[in-house]
Structure 1
Amino acid sequence: MAPAAQFEAAQPPKDAISSLVFSPFASRRMLVSSWDKNVYLYEVADGAEEANLVGTFTHRAPVMDVCFGADDNEAFLAGMDHQVNRLNLTTGEQTVMSTHGAPVRCVVYSSEHSLLISASWDSTLHVHSTRNPSQKPLSIPLPGKPHALAASPTKLVVAMTARLVHIYDLPTLTSTLSSPNPQQPPQPWQQRESSLKFLTRAVACMPNDAGYSTSSIEGRVAVEWFEDSAESQARKYAFKCHRQAAPEEEGGGDVVYPVNALAFHPVYGTFASGGGDGTVALWDAEAKRRMRQYQKFPESVAALAFSSDGRFLAIGVSPGFETGMEDYSGEGRTKVFVRELGETEAKGKGAK
């Protein structure tokens, strides 16, 4: 593989990036959602350092999240207009899957179970069967407002206000949804209190289905395992990151930034974090160490995603509110960078 290289995607969004995701399939397609009410579809060119805009799909409200569906031509989006929509990336047609009572913060698709799950600020989850799109979604009440959502092959992790974390078993959600008359919403497989002291900003699941990582607004990341044994829970840990030393004339100490984004490498199981300090770092979860930190980007890192083969890391950069800006504008400052990783760049200490 060639040495690491980094390039910029053509025609970036005109406002802040809300999410970014690579196709889970073999293609190099990438979706970016934005507060400018659009979803952008890019394709990383094979053998060339460029990411070209393939299509732009306009929604009627800011788009808070986006994910691919059952193939490269299907996507789902979460809207500030309370709607969960299916988007046909070939025709541009949008179909309403369900309507929440407040803006929809997150959407994730489980290909293993053909489930689309949306989380809304009305404090509910909607679980949709994509095999039977006409079926009414299962509604699950949550004890707090959801802020981050992630799925592993068998689990769904929901991070909420008040440091609440609920973990659901996806096979259980599937069987409940297929039941002709479910008597009550399924209970969480586990209920946890976040290891972090402040509001959760992002969550990502390990590709091997063993656990997950969360990040907070207060420059910290936690790594936890699903298994509920004392031995497994003793392995969990949290650490400080995305901090910068303040000048002595300002009293010294650390300037602390939110950790906005997390993404696990699909092959090696290492993970990347992105913060309001404009940096991206790679971490070895097992060895509990930082592998490398990349050069500072011009704005806050809003979103991260690895390609399905682990060859590329996409980085969404847009102005954050770390400097307390009164007049917010992302136009001209919002960018999408794609880094082609070196062969062992994301390889952890114990990886084979």
Structure 2
Amino acid sequence: MAASAGTSGSPLGMELASPPTDGITSLNFSPDSGLLLATSWDGGVRVYDADPARDRSSQRQHFATPGPVLDACFAEAGGTAVISGGIAKVVTRHDLMTGAEEVLGSHDAAVKAVAYDDDTGLGISGGWDKTLRAWDPRLPPERRCVARVDLPDKVYSMSINPPSSSANKKIVVAMAGLGIHVYTPLGLTLGGAPEQTRTSTLSHQTRVARCFPDGTGFAVGSVEGRVGWEYFDRSEEAIARQYAFKCHRSKEGGVETIHPVHAIAFHEKLGTFATGGGDGFVNVWDGGNKKRLYQYPRYATSVAALAFNAEGDALAIAASYVGEEGDKPAPADAIFVRAVDAAEVTPKPRS
């Protein structure tokens, strides 16, 4: 188990030892234990203890899978298991207590996104085979796929409301072609009809979609350096409150460069959110008041993934080149965990 070198005094945060070695694809904190989960193109599913307040971190577990892993999430009571998916086309359950691994099922193409619904106990996966599937790990292998939904296009991102908003639980599936489907867990298992079928408010390819902590809507980020703010409510009033804004853009010599928005992470307690882009910056936003609250110092390469912990006092940042400028030398992949000051994430009163 490798310990950190102790770098939380850096403005970038505490850098974790034993990071992924190729293309970090996702970061997620456990809602119960504070463990940090990371996936990558090197086939690794890694679990870290990370406490920037005490300047301590270590890699607790490393599961090596047959191919690049595109996404993973904590699952089951207490976050005692992990569900992952990737290029190998399989959805795998990793038991954090015993170290055992078990394939729950498979897709016909890469698994791009996974989620876990704590209310139903189901793992949900979306693939490049244009399907959405739900898995029940408690059932025998031949019966574990309890739902399969055919979609109009490949899944690019997926998000489910956090447990705090379970009374209004939604699953947002963002696809190629700007399509977005909204499901409820019950609806998914009872035939799979989407509760809503809509088109992104953004006009360019979706990179990421994340649900609001209060269950009222979601944010999407695009390759064109924009974020869209959308509500589940389809009333005229709610639609009028939707908006999009530019971010992660730089200007040099009078020439503007537009960077993709690769990551969005919400502060579950305050409802503010962070975005990470191809420009190497992390920005914190107050979506309700349409304001930027803070910008962290620039990282050496693209910000590929972000995650707040449940308390909102730590933010994990993946500095990992995503290939926006083609094949070129890039800094080594790194994960930083930064202690979050309340002033950086707290909404300011309207002027």
Does 1:217 pair with 2:255?
no
The match for 2:108 among 84, 101, 114 is 101
1:136 aligns with 2:151: no
Q: Per the alignment, in what secondary structure is the counterpart of residue 187 of structure 2?
A: helix
Question: Do the aligned partners of 1:4 and 1:342 also contact (CA within 8 Å) in 2?
Answer: no
Other-structure match for 2:4: none
| Residue matched to 2:5 | none
CA RMSD of aligned residues (A): 1.9
Aligned match of 2:194? 188
Which residue of the partner structure matches residue 298 of structure 2? 296
SS in 2 for 1:78: strand
Quote the residue 2:175 is aligned against. 160
Instruction: State the alpha-carbon separation in 1 of the partners of residues 140 and 59 from structure 2.
Output: 29
Counterpart of 2:40 in structure 1 is: 34
Of the three residues 36, 50, 71, the one matched with 1:65 is 71
- Normalization by structure 1: what TM-score? 0.90
Structure 1: segments with no counterpart, 5+ residues = 177-184
* Match for residue 160 of structure 2 among 121, 126, 151: 151
User: Is 1:344 paired with 2:343?
Assistant: yes
Kept after mapping to 2: 8 A contact 1:8/1:50: no
Shift of 1:24: 1.3
8 Å CA contact 1:196, 1:216 repeated in 2: yes
From the superposition, tell whether residues 317 and 46 of structure 1 become closer, same or farther in structure 2 (CA, over 3 Å).
closer
- Partner secondary structure for residue 323 of structure 1: coil
Q: Structure 2 vs 1, CA of residues 291 and 46 (structure 1 numbering), >3 Å: closer, same or farther?
A: closer
Asked if structure 2 preserves the Cα contact closer than 8 Å seen for 1:260 and 1:275, the reply is yes
Match for 1:160: what amino acid? M
The percent identity for this pair of structures is: 38
3-state SS, counterpart of residue 345 of structure 2? coil
Contact 1:271 1:283 in 2 (8 A): yes
CA distance in 1, matches of 2:52, 2:341: 16
Alignment partner of 1:52 is 2:58:
yes
Distance in 1, matches of 2:57 and 2:246, equals: 33
The TM-score normalised by the length of structure 2 is: 0.90
The aligned counterpart of 1:76 is: 83
Q: Deviations over 1:272-291 (max 9, x none)?
A: 00000000000001001111
Alpha-carbon distance, 1:271 to partner: 0.5
Deviates more, 1:342-351 or 1:237-246: 342-351
Partner of 2:23: 16
Report the alpha carbon displacement of residue 90 of structure 1 after superposing the two structures with TM: 2.7
Query: Structure 1, residues 158-212: CA drift from partner, whole Å, max 9, x if none?
Result: 11111101111223224x2xxxxxxxx3211001111111110001101110110
Partner residue of 1:123 out of 130, 134, 146: 130
Separation (CA, whole Å) in 2 of partners of 1:82 and 1:60? 10
The corresponding residue for 1:256 is 258
Query: Which residues of structure 2 form unaligned runs of 5+?
Result: 1-8
Aligned-partner SS, 2:153? coil
**Residues 7, 339 of structure 1: 8 Å contact kept:** yes
